[in-house]
Amino acid sequence: MFDVSTIRDDFPIFNRKIHGNKRLVYLDSAASSQKPQQVLDAMDRLYTHDYANIHRGIHELAEEATAQFEDARNRIADFIGVQDSTEIVFTRNTTESINLVAHAWGRKYLNPGDHILLTEMEHHSNLVPWYMLAQEKGLTIDFIPITADGLLNMDQFNILLNKQPKLVSFTHVSNVLGTINPVAEITALSHQAGAVVLVDGAQSVPHLPVDIEHLGVDFYAFSAHKMCGPTGIGILYGKRVLLEGMNPFLGGGDMIKKVTFEDFSVNEIPYKFEAGTSAIAEAIGFGAAVDYLNAIGMQAIHDHEKEVTKYAYEQLATIPGLQMMGPAADQRGGVISFELDDIHPHDIAQILDAQGIAVRAGHHCAMPLHQRLKVQASTRVSFYLYNTSEDVDDLVKGIYKVKEIFGRGDV
């Protein structure tokens, strides 16, 4: 059974108090999740018992560290339903994964006049790399619009496919709207139109079961730090045939087979894209995070988040002057962004923080989406496996405190 109180005990940070004596209500997991003791212990064990650089050494410590590093890759592959772990490339984060595709695949295969198809709900990490490439190569970028309730307009998507885009790149779950996009459907339609598909999974892999083989995507990117793992490490999944046909991203050690005074030859995948010393402890922490989530069960985590999100949606809907962005609770992940009267989100976040409640305020690295919605900024709350209905109740009380301080209506 899913026991949230036992889960919370795994996270040392929930033992601390905020501003002296306030219970920590952490509602910012869409930015970065908290870390369980199991992950911290795995990284500590490496540094205190097994640490050495990987792949190059033949001494015992190097071989042990290498085995743990590659075992983490295998476990991450299993976690997302990938049979061939050489299709799993370690990167720094989701952003670097997308940039890798833009540089190593896009520069080689996209030509002036080609179309790239994105959506209006993308994070900057799935916008700016394509803007940079479009400026460099004379590409055209089109956008799938969103509907009034924050869903992708699939009719317009089908029309835009008539332009025969070479790449369709989109988020699995919006980090602002919480919208869960139909990845398998979009991918199948994109492939029929001849496009390669890249999916930003930063907000999906931590929260719901993901099976890459079932989704059928060509590239899929996500980060450890949003799924109970450490910062500084992420994943790019790519189909073998695509990765093998791509140019290297960075040059240096480990990504080569041979170097002479005249030339070099590249290593096999995935090492071809992993230049230099990797984030060794972080990869092992990533593997421990995957083990932790697997032990609980991703479907159980998703079901719990749906319950908390539904409760939060219902409670927030009762607050006068609060307007939520995005679809209904049953069509979103554990993210709710909102406006409150004419109060700036930074003021809301600061007052909530004084009560021990951590939320996000601003444009959440999605400025074009906020422009599309005619919203300067928003307040975002996001939920994870350790959040409870009590957290939601404290949030609601905190919002009423904000309204009281600003004298906004009947509180």
**What positions carry a catalytic annotation?**
365
Name which of 77, 15, 91, 139 is nearest 282 in CA terms: 91
What are the DSSP calls for 119-144, one per residue? Answer: ETT--GGGTHHHHHHHHHHT-EEEEE
Cα-based torsion angle of the residue sequence 245, 118, 107, 103 in order, rounded to the nearest 10 degrees: -80
Secondary structure (DSSP) of 280-336: HHHHHHHHHHHHHHHHH-HHHHHHHHHHHHHHHHHHHTTSTTEEEESS-GGGB-SEE
d(CA 35, CA 1): 21
DSSP 18-63: ETTTEEPEE-BTTT-----HHHHHHHHHIIIII---SSS--SHHHH
CA distances from 102 to 49, 116, 217, 219, 331 (A): 39, 11, 16, 11, 30
Tokens of 68: 């743990």
User: What SS3 class is residue 162?
Assistant: helix
Give CA–CA dist 325/175, Å, rounded: 11
Pairing mode, if any, of strands 17-18 and 335-340?
A: unpaired
Which residue in 47, 54, 62 sits closest to 281, CA to CA? 47
The neighbouring-strand residues paired with 22 are 18
Q: How many CB atoms lie within 10 A of CB 252?
A: 12
Cα maximum dimension of the chain: 77
Helix (H) or strand (E) holding 108: helix 107-109
User: What would the two tokens of residue 239 be?
Assistant: 């189909």
Instruction: For strands 256-259 and 264-266, give the pairing.
Output: antiparallel
